[in-house]
Amino acid sequence: MRLVYIPANLTEIKKFGIIPVLIQQLLKKEVDIVPYAFAPTPELWKHVDFSIPLGIEYYNLLQQYPKTENRLTAIIRPFSLTVWVLFIISFVIMVIFIALITHYNQQIKDFKSKSLMNIVNRYAIYMLTVITGQGNHLSSKEKFSLRLAVGLWCLTMIVLVNAYSGTLTSYLTVPKLVPIVNTFAELSKANSGPYKVFGNSLRNNPQLLVKGGNIFEGMKNVLERNAAYFTNRVAVQYMMALDMQTHSNCRLTASDPIPYMDYYSAALPQGSRHNWIINHE
């Protein structure tokens, strides 16, 4: 086979677009193969054949770079809501438990004349000083069951407070970013039928619909309208790099790969006798 390069007409490309011009080259039998990365579609299959995939591209969601979480909430972030709720419940139960031990222990003379509420208040303050690392004193004359319960509480608080302090320090030292969107379900806020949500959204907001694969229009929607732009990985990386050339701060980021892929192939004349020679691995 003799390889001859036949360029497409630049004037026609500017007028009609590159893909229609390349397809016309095949239809007019000017070339035996178009070495362009086509994404095969049902419409294109009507006119040309395609080679085995030359490349496979994953898709990502282009979106605004996440903002830093508010540091005012850092004090509660080291533990989840579940941990905080369980901690408060355990504190209340522990205070009531040791207060009851003291109240019904008739051998402790100091508390014979004090009400249960006074005892609860005393041990609530005692346990708070342990939590805040201030230290406190418990007489060795106290009942063993009381000293055991308080000792277990102190041991637990040493572990919990150290874990809290270390995590809090890391939150204050390293900025924590707001999570980005990595799936269609997160983007549409629906566990099922996200495409229906997207369709309704685009019908109600036609200005967000990017037509003809205009990546710059998609990039503008992301930056100015806080939208997400769904396209292949190469386009996402190109837009991120392009934006970094004009802005010192990173303004764009990409999601994890979305389970959707595009296959890119070269175009061949439909039914050509040369196709079997060209189209092999």
Task: Give 177-216 pLDDT, tens digit per residue.
Answer: 888 999 988 888 877 788 888 888 888 988 888 876 788 9
- 15 has pLDDT over 70: yes
pLDDT for res 31: 93
- 224 has pLDDT over 90: yes
Please tell me the distance from the alpha carbon of residue 124 to that of residue 147, in angstroms, as a whole number.
15
pLDDT for res 181: 92
Q: Hey, how many other C-beta atoms are within 10 angstroms of the C-beta on 239?
A: 21
Q: How long, in residues, is the chain?
A: 281
- 118 has pLDDT over 90: no
Distances (CA, A) of 85 to 79, 88, 162, 206: 10, 5, 19, 45
Name the E strands within the chain: 34-38, 48-50, 55-64, 229-232, 252-254, 258-269
Q: Could you write out the DSSP letters of every residue in 117-134?
A: HHHHHHHHHHHHHHHTT-
Query: Considering the chain, what percentage of its residues have pLDDT values greater than 90?
Result: 27
Please tell me the distance from the alpha carbon of residue 257 to that of residue 269, in angstroms, as a whole number.
33
Please tell me the distance from the alpha carbon of residue 186 to that of residue 76, in angstroms, as a whole number.
24
pLDDT for res 158: 80
Q: Could you write out the DSSP letters of every residue in 3-63?
A: ----PPPHHHHHHH-HHHHHHHHHHTTS-S-EEEEE---HHHHTTEEE-S-SEEEEEEEEE
139-164 confidence digits (pLDDT tens): 666 667 777 777 787 888 888 888 88
Identify the band that residue 107 occupies on the pLDDT scale cut at 50, 70 and 90.
Answer: very low
DSSP reduced 3-state for 281: coil
Average pLDDT for the chain: 84
- CA end-to-end distance (rounded Å), the chain: 17
For the whole model, what pTM was predicted? 0.55
Give helix 116-131 / helix 144-173 axis angle, nearest 10°: 40
The more confidently predicted of residues 106 and 177 is 177
Q: Hey, how many other C-beta atoms are within 10 angstroms of the C-beta on 25?
A: 19
Question: Comparing C-alpha atoms, which of 51, 18, 16 is closest to residue 33?
Answer: 51
